[in-house]
Amino acid sequence: MRWRTVLRSSSATWLAPLLAAFVAFLVRDDLVAGVTAGYWPSVFGAATFALPFVTPACAAAGAWEGSRIARGNVATWAPARGGLAIAWPLLLPVLALGLLGMAVAVAFTLTATAPAGGMPPLSVAAMWLVVLLANAMAGFLLGRKLPLVIAAPLALILSFVLTAYPATLEPLWLRHMVTGGVNGCCSLDQTINWRPVASATVLALAVILAAALALTATGKRAVRLAATGLLTVGLLGSGALAYGLPATPTTPRSTTALTCSGTEPQVCVWPELSSHLPTIQRVAADTRQRLQHAGLNVPAKLTMAEHAGTGAQYIGSWEQATADNVRIGIAAGLLPANPPACADRGEFPGEVAFGPLGAWLSLTAGASKGEVAGRYGQQETALAARIRTAPAAQQRAWFQRNEPALHNCTTKPQLKLTGQTAGGAQ
Amino acid sequence: MSLQFTRCSFQYGRKVPVLDRLSLTINHRATVLLGPNGAGKSTLMGIAASWHSPTRGSVAWRGREPDTARHRAAYRAAVGWLPQHIKPMPGLTVRENVAYLGWLKGMARREAWDRSAPALERVRLGSLADRKSHQLSGGQLRRMGIAGTLVHHSELVLLDEPTAGLDPSQRKVFRQVVDDLLTDVHLVVSTHQTEDLDAVYDHVVVLDRGTVRFQGDTAGFLALAHPGLPEARRAEGAYTQLIEQEV
């Protein structure tokens, strides 16, 4: 069949604008929500949200094409070409349909934030490719066996259920076997975890191989057994790779990627922010000075690496290089990142101190009240602002009195400043 | 130069065998395969096309057997085959369907496309090349199928019941097409139609209940008819004579 004929007669051709419109109008808002600005893994991770909507289209189109083979009684013509060779030209437009759907999704995540540099995570794109092909081939087989009116809707529904539904199931790692666990990826200090991606790829490859085997030689018992064996191995391999992973499995980004500048303080940021480094460095120096003036010790090295190491401080992994982000990030780095371990076992009275202390540090660092309120809450920020009106020594004493409450479960915070009303923040 | 069946047996599932150790050699230009319903004609044609694999025995065209995947591909490329029940590939025009049949037989896309137009002209469907296949009548559909057997370089063309259900005018067109085919391919046709048999075929095989009742040249077959029968009814008479003898 000429490629022109293939394209003209394929169900994928008329499904393409429908799928593109579906992704553009119905999935767009979810695609662009929470994309980390300028970061390729996040662009592709967010675009993966469209995968459970694109794969059913591929499965249904695959079923349609498979039914054409059955309706055309192609086998009765005693073709010299094998089943896979006959299926391939019909499946290629279906695969192209899937890639178009994902390309539209990427286009939207890219418009939300265009990465200035770096490489797109090709492993994620490869995973999409095999998942789409697996769905198309499975649909194709269904279409060969069942009447079109049953095969196409069945493929559509089954594909959607198998791709989207595991995300609602426990254990959490089940979902990674079908979509690769990259949906929530990644903030700038994270990168894609290879295990969930490999898990989805392995299962999809097993489906592809089993389908290829079924297409190459139908009806033979040995072939059915081999295909079942392949699917079993694929399921086990995929499950082993995904087993135990959390809902959003990511890997800490290598600190070798950081770009550093300046001294006193030296500031290290992720490459996506390197063009803003002079500004960040200037704001960071001012922030550090303000905090030190308030009697706080700020290390000379400020870094976006979460595990900063001795003599360095983590400043968060924000994606917009605004002065407020820099100031709030440095201020927040002076507090413990997480509650103490004892908080998991019982009462943690210091919990209420997190907000006011964080807000006070941020305001002291020079951050705007609006941004601080957005981060720590209105009441907490109001309390911190009142504390800020007290003499410097009194503020420092207030901070030193309450800060230990964040490190253990026995110290009760005393957020009221003598002579002031603490409001509802307690 | 022959199509050879050697001790071929075939059965559908666990049913009674349709063919049982049938041996037959066909080495004529135009052979007609006659027989009543259930005689095994379509099964034999299906085996000759390598659509069916014999449960025992073998088939060979010019010494080539479809015994491995590679050999089967080469065999199928050399043997054109028109099955009894034709369904066009949905969504394709008549010419696209013919080119597709050529591609299925192993031709390159471009070559199949280029050869599809002359093939359609040969079966007198050139004017309908761009029509959707599902709009064709039964007779036109069969001619489209024949064009599909011509588009690839077949040496042998097998037509299974090509005139079943055709009206007299369509049968006339079909006979003209067959006459034209015989200029460059070997032909085996299974049919119930005995009219004009001597004008088209030079060899006759009569099959009944999986066994060969008659094999010989057309003149020898016609000689089996009652001498008193008129010329136009002699083929039918010979056929009836053979089948009734058995009954």
Instruction: Say whether both A231 and A289 belong to one domain.
Output: no
Distance CA A262, CA A36 (A): 26
Contacts (Cβ under 8 Å, ≥6 apart) of B168: none
Half-sphere exposure of B100 (CA within 13 A, CB side): 31
Is A341 inside any structural domain? yes
Q: What is the per-residue pLDDT across A362-408, written as a single tens digit (0 to 9) for each?
A: 999 999 999 999 999 999 999 999 999 999 899 999 999 899 989 88
CB < 8 Å to B92, chain A: 1, 5, 9
Could you write out the three-class secondary structure of chain B? CCEEEEEEEECCCCCCCCEEEEEEEECCCEEEEECCCCCCHHHHHHHHCCCCCCCEEEEEECCECCCCHHHHHHHHHHEEEECCCCCCCCCCEHHHHHHHHHHHCCCCHHHHHHHHHHHHHHCCCHHHCCCEHHHCCHHHHHHHHHHHHHHCCCCEEEEECCCCCCCHHHHHHHHHHHHHHCCCCEEEEEECCCCCHHHHCCEEEEEECCEEEEEEEHHHHHCCCCCCCCHHHHHHHHHHHHHHHHC
* Token pair listed for A46: 């967010």
CB B207 within 8 A of CB B34: yes
Is A93 inside any structural domain? yes
Torsion angles phi and psi, residue B42, rounded to 5: -65, -35
Instruction: Say whether both A217 and A320 belong to one domain.
Output: no
CB < 8 Å to A61, chain B: none
Q: Considering CB atoms only, which of A68, A74, A80 is closest to B77?
A: A80
CB < 8 Å to B89, chain A: 68, 71-72, 74
Instruction: Say whether both A200 and A311 belong to one domain.
Output: no
CB A318 within 8 A of CB A325: yes
**Structure confidence at residue A83 (pLDDT):** 93
Distance CA A388, CA A398 (A): 10
CB contact, 8 Å: B73 with chain A? Answer: yes
**Structure confidence at residue A321 (pLDDT):** 87
CB A181 within 8 A of CB A248: yes
CB A57 within 8 A of CB A16: no
Q: Which of A198, A219, A253 is the last residue of a domain?
A: A253
In a mutational test of the A interface, the residue from B43, B45, B87 whose CB has the highest number of chain A CBs within 10 Å is: B87
**Structure confidence at residue A426 (pLDDT):** 38
Instruction: Say whether both A358 and A301 belong to one domain.
Output: yes
Give the chain B residue nearest A74 (alpha carbons): B89
CB-based contact A77 B81, cutoff 8 Å: yes
Instruction: Say whether both A244 and A311 belong to one domain.
Output: no
The total of other beta-carbon atoms located within 10 Å of residue B23's CB is 11
Give the chain B residue nearest A87 (alpha carbons): B104
Q: CA angle B216-B221-B227, nearest 5°?
A: 150
Give the chain A residue nearest B130 (alpha carbons): A5
**Structure confidence at residue B169 (pLDDT):** 82
pLDDT at A422 exceeding the cut of 50: no
pLDDT class for B217, splitting at 50, 70, 90? very high
**Structure confidence at residue A310 (pLDDT):** 83
CB-based contact B77 A71, cutoff 8 Å: no
In a mutational test of the B interface, the residue from A77, A86, A220 whose CB has the highest number of chain B CBs within 10 Å is: A77
Residues 81-110 of A with CB under 8 A from B: 81-82, 86
Instruction: Say whether both A238 and A177 belong to one domain.
Output: yes
pLDDT class for A208, splitting at 50, 70, 90? very high
Contacts (Cβ under 8 Å, ≥6 apart) of A80: B72, B73, B74, B76, B77, B104, B105, B106
CB-based contact B110 A72, cutoff 8 Å: no
Task: Work out the percent of chain A whose per-residue pLDDT is above 70.
Answer: 97
pLDDT at A233 exceeding the cut of 70: yes
CB B39 within 8 A of CB B246: no
The pLDDT of B205-226, averaged and rounded, is 91
Residue with tokens 């199509």: B3
Instruction: Say whether both A223 and A80 belong to one domain.
Output: yes
The pLDDT of A397-423, averaged and rounded, is 79
In a mutational test of the B interface, the residue from A76, A88, A149, A213 whose CB has the highest number of chain B CBs within 10 Å is: A76
Q: Considering CB atoms only, which of B92, B104, B110 is closest to A9?
A: B92
**Structure confidence at residue B177 (pLDDT):** 83
CB-based contact B109 A77, cutoff 8 Å: no
Pick from A215-229, A401-415, B117-131 the range whose average pLDDT is largest: B117-131
Q: Considering CB atoms only, which of B69, B88, B103 is closest to A72?
A: B88
Give the chain A residue nearest B74 (alpha carbons): A80
CB A45 within 8 A of CB A115: no
Instruction: Say whether both A239 and A142 belong to one domain.
Output: yes
Is A14 inside any structural domain? yes
Report cis status (omega within 30 of 0) of the bond before A271.
Answer: no
Question: Quick one: which of A105, A6, A404 has its CA closest to B89?
Answer: A6
Is A184 inside any structural domain? yes
More confident position, A346 or A269: A269
Distance CA B67, CA B59 (A): 9
CB < 8 Å to B104, chain A: 74, 77, 79-81, 86
CB B14 within 8 A of CB B53: no
pLDDT at A418 exceeding the cut of 80: no
DSSP state of A413: P
Residue with tokens 């044609």: B45
CB < 8 Å to B109, chain A: 1-3
CB-based contact B79 A78, cutoff 8 Å: yes
Q: Which of A226, A253, A280 is the last residue of a domain?
A: A253
pLDDT class for B107, splitting at 50, 70, 90? very high
The total of other beta-carbon atoms located within 10 Å of residue B26's CB is 19
CB-based contact A81 B73, cutoff 8 Å: yes
Q: What is the per-residue pLDDT across B5-17, written as a single tens digit (0 to 9) for each?
A: 999 999 887 777 8
Q: What is the per-residue pLDDT across A33-76, written as a single tens digit (0 to 9) for each?
A: 888 888 899 999 999 999 999 999 999 999 999 999 999 999 99
Instruction: Say whether both A309 and A236 belong to one domain.
Output: no
Distance of residue B244 Cα from the nearest chain A Cα, in angstroms: 33
Sign for the CA dihedral angle at B18, B20, B21, B24 comes to: negative
The pLDDT of B101-124, averaged and rounded, is 94
**Structure confidence at residue A302 (pLDDT):** 94
The pLDDT of A18-36, averaged and rounded, is 89
Is A426 inside any structural domain? no
CB contact, 8 Å: B51 with chain A? Answer: yes
Instruction: Say whether both A95 and A227 belong to one domain.
Output: yes
Is A422 inside any structural domain? no
In a mutational test of the B interface, the residue from A3, A4, A5 whose CB has the highest number of chain B CBs within 10 Å is: A5
Q: What is the per-residue pLDDT across A247-257, written as a single tens digit (0 to 9) for each?
A: 888 898 888 98
Among the listed ranges A90-94, A413-417, B79-83, B185-189, which one has the minimum average pLDDT value?
A: A413-417
CB-based contact A81 B103, cutoff 8 Å: yes
Is A25 inside any structural domain? yes
Pairing type for strands B30-34 and B186-191 reads parallel
pLDDT class for A212, splitting at 50, 70, 90? very high
CB contact, 8 Å: B59 with chain A? Answer: no
**C-beta contacts of A423-426 below 8 A and 24+ residues apart:** A423/A379, A423/A382, A423/A383, A423/A386, A424/A379, A425/A352, A425/A355, A425/A356, A425/A379, A425/A380, A425/A382, A425/A383, A426/A352
pLDDT at B40 exceeding the cut of 70: yes
Question: Quick one: which of A6, A4, A204 has its CA closest to A87?
Answer: A6
CB contact, 8 Å: A251 with chain B? Answer: no
Domain that holds residue A284: 256-406
- Tell me the average pLDDT of chain A: 91
**Structure confidence at residue A425 (pLDDT):** 39
**Structure confidence at residue B41 (pLDDT):** 92
CB contact, 8 Å: A125 with chain B? Answer: no
pLDDT at B210 exceeding the cut of 60: yes
Q: Is A150 left (phi over 0), alpha (psi -120 to 50) or beta?
A: alpha
pLDDT at A424 exceeding the cut of 50: no
Instruction: Say whether both A36 and A185 belong to one domain.
Output: yes
Q: Which of A232, A253, A274 is the last residue of a domain?
A: A253
First to last CA, chain A: 75
The pLDDT of B34-48, averaged and rounded, is 92
Is A186 inside any structural domain? yes
DSSP state of A185: -
- Number of domains observed in the structure of chain A: 2
The pLDDT of B37-45, averaged and rounded, is 91
**Structure confidence at residue B245 (pLDDT):** 67
* Token pair listed for A132: 């789409």
CB B51 within 8 A of CB B83: yes
Torsion angles phi and psi, residue B49, rounded to 5: -80, -5
Give the chain B residue nearest A10 (alpha carbons): B91
Q: What is the per-residue pLDDT across A102-125, written as a single tens digit (0 to 9) for each?
A: 999 999 999 887 787 788 999 999
Pairs of CB atoms within 8 A across A/B: 73
Instruction: Say whether both A318 and A305 belong to one domain.
Output: yes
CB-based contact B105 A74, cutoff 8 Å: no
